[in-house]
Amino acid sequence: MGQGIRTKGTVVAAVVAALWLMPAPAAQLGAAPEDMPTPRTADGKPDLTGLWSGGGGGNLEADAEGNITVLSRGRPCHPGQECAPAVNFERDSGVRQRMDPNLPIYKPEYWEQVQFLDVNGNLQDPHGKCYPDGLPRIGAPNKIVQTDTELIFLYANKNTFRVIPIDGREHHPVRSQDLTYYGDSVGTWEGDTMVIDSVGFTDWSWLEWPGYLHSNNMRVVERITREGNTFTWQATVYDDYLAEPWVMNPVRRTLNPDQTELLTEDLPCEDRDLANMHTRERG
């Protein structure tokens, strides 16, 4: 072996990364809210500004021979179980998502379409085609910049940004009729909770995997409440296809302790897999 780099201990990083990929229970996310007071702007409103979650890195080191070994850990297989590397992650996450009792309830006339998208998800999922995830699938923002009149949301996902007026204006008459992935948004304060109302969506995005479609008349209401060094983001979906509004599971984000950390560029998405799918198995 030549000179260079070999890394052990990356299992830890992989496990951390796996946790990052999954919605974590609130109890796992950082310090308690009372660890710091909620910062407020001059007008007394909570200040949502900050880099939320993220940070850290691989911290890889090579071994004496220069070799690098990066391990991705999934669920171990029981002795005797027929198993191969990397067969567990998507299956486990799929089971976990299907077991969530909080699912959108569709009107009967859309059941067949949802099931079709589910069983053909590998080919139908707009995420797999490199389309924007859209709202609400993209989830909570990774960075927020708050001014007196605007919220700017930045996402570590396809370099996505949203500019959300909070100056009391109504929806824009033209943009609210547009067909976009993130809609036309306006925000207002309800006490210490920022409420963001968005309309003007395309129907090309999914609410979530597997196959939760929506119409282009969808309305999404996000609620963000900051308490100390955490915020809770929760979206409610109102749509003609749904039998009732879908109140999605809340997501908690913790303030990155290193606010000098940067939200870096996300690289382009280019699908080269869909033409080579052997099965439709996703999870």
Partner 1 sequence: MKALKVLGAAAIVAMVMAVGFVSAPPVAAHHAIQAEYDMNEIGSFTGKLTRFAMINPHVRWLFEETKPDGTVEEWEMSGAGPGALRQAGLVRIFKVGDVYDVTFAPAFNGANLGRVRQMTFPDGRVVTLFHEDPTSEEAQQLNQ
- Residue number, 28 or 44, with CB nearest to partner 1: 28
The binding track of 241-280 with respect to partner 1, each residue x by CB under 8 A or -, is: --------------------xxxxxxxxxxxxx--xxxxx
In the region spanning residues 173 to 212, those forming contacts with partner 1, defined by CB under 8 A, are 209
Size, binding site for partner 1 by CB under 8 A: 84
Does 14 help bind partner 1 (rule: CB under 8 A)? yes
225 and 234 in contact (C-beta within 8 Å)? Answer: no
Least separation in angstroms between residue 205's CB and partner 1 is: 13
Does 99 help bind partner 1 (rule: CB under 8 A)? no
Does 60 help bind partner 1 (rule: CB under 8 A)? yes
In the region spanning residues 105 to 124, those forming contacts with partner 1, defined by CB under 8 A, are 121-122
- Residue number, 192 or 261, with CB nearest to partner 1: 261
Least separation in angstroms between residue 79's CB and partner 1 is: 7
Instruction: Report the C-alpha dihedral over residues 81, 82, 87, 92, rounded to 10 degrees.
Output: -40
Stretch that binds partner 1, among 37-45, 155-163, 179-187, 219-227 (CB under 8 A): 155-163
End-to-end CA distance of the chain: 39
Least separation in angstroms between residue 155's CB and partner 1 is: 8
Instruction: Give the separation between CA 4 and CA 65, rounded to whole angstroms.
Output: 6
Instruction: Give the separation between CA 129 and CA 19, rounded to whole angstroms.
Output: 24
SS3 34: helix
Residue 56 corresponds to which amino acid? G
Instruction: Give the separation between CA 135 and CA 220, rounded to whole angstroms.
Output: 8
Least separation in angstroms between residue 192's CB and partner 1 is: 26
Q: Exposed, middle or buried, 7 (CB in 10 Å: 0-12/13-18/19+)?
A: middle
Element (H, E) at 13: helix 10-21
Least separation in angstroms between residue 118's CB and partner 1 is: 13
